[in-house]
Structure 1
Amino acid sequence: MKKPLKSHVGNLEGKLRVYNATLDSFLEVNRYSLENEDRNCFGFETGYEDQIKLFAIGNHLPSVAKQEVSDHLFSAQQYLMLWQRVLVQPAGEIVPFTYQGVDFAIPTSGKMQSIPSPEWLEMIYLTIVTGRYRDLNLLMGLLNSGQVFYRAELQSLHCEIVLHMLGLKDSEDISAAINQLTTLIESKESSSQGQWAPFHAITITLGFFDVMKTVHQQDQAAYRKAMYRALEMHKEWWTHDNDFSERAQGYVALPLLTAAKYAYEKHGFTLDFECGYLPTYIYLY
């Protein structure tokens, strides 16, 4: 078995305090919703943000049970999809929701006509990892109706590559997309898309592609090597700046966790190393 890949997550006592404070805040917001007799509002946005944070931090805390970490992830996916429905569906519709045996009827606002591709891909990853595949139809419907937008060409290529490798939407020419991505990385034009955009394309987009390529080649040995390297690059991306490294979003490699579940379900692939960025127990148990 390979040497475990150490994550950048430290100061676990401090992380535990953040975890407990976040959990208290989550419960307080939901308590307020339960006290609202109209039952027409619920904190889906804050619920998602709290639950995904609890998942990312809790995964690294020995005192938090794996089942509890898994529950946070499943709740985060549920809240994210409900929040999206409230924002995207036409105003005047109702989103039903039950919490602790209490039925809510949340009116939709329709104020969000389109979703940035990074946020949309987050929904894709969470939906696949949690196995709630029915939600994929809704998410792909948003894409096909032009409700997903890209702030830059690198984002568009990233999305095209991810969807193709997950079998959700075929690229017309995946090799051309990869070549276009690498050309853009090497060009001066990429710097206009953000200071760190080229580095993200190298560490995250190409890391994910390399992993998924070995999965489609049905080569478990190559898959394990590619995943190890991709997780190293994940660490490089999330530690390139001190402030950036404190973001809980980087405590779990969600795209690579999605790839790992895909590899396991399609071919039974497992890994020969451990890494805190990759809580495979989410789908193994």
Structure 2
Amino acid sequence: MTLQRLSAHLALSLTCGLAAGLPLPAQATYQLYGMARAHATTTAPVPGLGGTDDLDVNLLNKPGAGQLQALDTHASNDHGSATARFLGRIGLLKAYATSDYAYCCIGGTTVHDGYADATVQGRFYDEVLVQGAGLADGTPVSYRLDLRLSGTVTRPNFESGGRYSADALAEAGLRDLSTGAAANFSWDARRQDTGVFSLTVQTAVGHRLAILGMLYAGTYVAAGALVARSAEVDFYHSAGYTLAPSVAGLSTLGESGYDFSAAAVPEPGTWALLLAGGLLLALRARQARR
């Protein structure tokens, strides 16, 4: 399978996996899934030298799905290494993958062969009951889902022949479980820049909305790669998902207890202020004790 076909197959598999994971409308559920895999192996002259480390977290209808979950794994051998990291919760996904492997050949002669690869995937599912703002059931409204992507991918990010690759994929989906009206968005670092991406669904008060998101990062470096000896996908900056209803006061609270409202998510500058304020309070408390 060529690298291009592999990438297309992967994107399709992830999309189908999200769709297949949708619970029935009568089953109000939420879920967070995260996976991190690091692998390094030598195939010649001594086969099997290396290791694999797989970690995952799967929280279905558990309160921890709305809290940050971290996975960090690493594998290495004499010629290469790989690192995979996942950090996420419902509404926020982060992924980091890096691989490196030494060049196979000296003076045109193959001395060793092998590869290193890292894979990270995170996805979530949640539901929001459309209610609030003093509106009666059946009142037409709409919701906008915003996906904020920030990260970097090694350039070039692939080599013909499948010896080198760096991939980043993301998805966002919004669906009215009462009418079936849906909007979906797929993002691929090879074709699109990062930024803010939005999709909107028409719904009504009393209906239930399904929200889902996915982030994938993968790197692969083989001994015979020519474009580079290392690959990195750094989306530890995050893929954040927020909801904006057409009428102020409509609910943005998921079944998980997580609030998808953009106003409920502090901006980076706000986090810095909160941290500074916390440190100041701690310092004053310490001085008072003295």
Q: Is TM-score (shorter-chain normalized) higher than 0.5?
A: no
TM-score, normalization by structure 2: 0.26
TM-score, normalization by structure 1: 0.26
More helix by share: 1
**Bigger radius of gyration:** 2
